Amino acid sequence: MRKKIIIPFILSASLLCSCVSREQLVYYQDIDNQQPIALNKFETTIKPDDLLMIIVSATNPEAAEPFNLTTNLSVDPRNQSGTAQRQQQLYLVDKNGNIDFPVIGSINIGNKTKQEVVETLKGKISQYITNPIINLRIMNFKVSVKGEVNRPGVHTISSERVSLPEVLALSGDLTIYGKRDNILITREENNELKTYRVDLTKPDFVNSEFYYLRQNDMVYVEPNKTRVNSSAVGPNVSIYMTAISLLLTTTALILTNTKK
């Protein structure tokens, strides 16, 4: 009787649940046996819809003023001191990679690095003022993460350079059900959405062109077989298995005591 109960349970459990192996969980496997890996050089480039803050300064502030966007002054009624708050206007890169810059006019900066844009602006502004200083910052650098991570969502990045491991850390890391060897990255290139696959278990991943993410990249972590199998049975499978296990244990004890 007891064997008839226990054997079907064991077979069912083996079908419903499969163990997650070490190879499925560990990042950068065998990296200790690898030679030092040179990091892939990466610089963020300007893309359409980027929101840029560009500030021009010089030894003579009045000379640089025409090259900065006009700022609006507004008074916050909740501020009892009535202090005016300065609202910085920003440059939006259009679909052709252009911005309209004061005095100079339209400038194409699409697909240029920040340093290249700074040098371009310096060259043009130097015709009007001596030794201009250009500060440029991307204000809406963001990436999104979905799937088998602990905290999926959109992350705004302040450093303008972020790696895939850093973004996954911001998302609370992968769950044990996430496939580490088949991360999907969706990226916009030349007005097309392209998809790429990344294997985080390989040590040479750090030299991949996808080690660093670009603005507006989308990362998706697929579920592994364990998650898929449990979802097929139902989200409460672990509760059911625990209840069945307890029931079988109780039944086995009763049968044992009955024979005595």
Q: Tens of pLDDT along 170-218?
A: 999 999 999 999 999 999 988 889 999 999 998 888 888 899 999 999 9
- In a shared domain, residues 30 and 100: no
Final residue before a domain boundary, out of 138, 165, 181: 138
- In a shared domain, residues 237 and 217: no
**Calpha distance 58→67 (Å, rounded):** 11
**181: phi then psi, degrees, rounded to nearest 5:** -100, 10
Q: The domain spanning residue 197 has which CATH number? A: 3.10.560.10
Task: Mean pLDDT check: name the lowest of 7-11, 47-51, 129-133, 140-144.
Answer: 7-11
Average predicted confidence (pLDDT) for the chain: 81
- In a shared domain, residues 178 and 237: no
- In a shared domain, residues 200 and 163: yes
The yes-or-no verdict on residue 242 having pLDDT over 50 is yes
Final residue before a domain boundary, out of 82, 107, 138: 138
- In a shared domain, residues 185 and 219: yes
Q: Are 17 and 228 within 8 A, CB to CB?
A: no
Work out the average pLDDT over 127-147.
95
pLDDT 10s digits, 93-107: 999 999 999 999 999
CA 111: distance to chain centroid?
21
Q: What's the domain count of the chain?
A: 3
Question: What was the pLDDT predicted at 148?
Answer: 96
**Calpha distance 164→40 (Å, rounded):** 13
**Calpha distance 21→228 (Å, rounded):** 16
- In a shared domain, residues 92 and 145: no
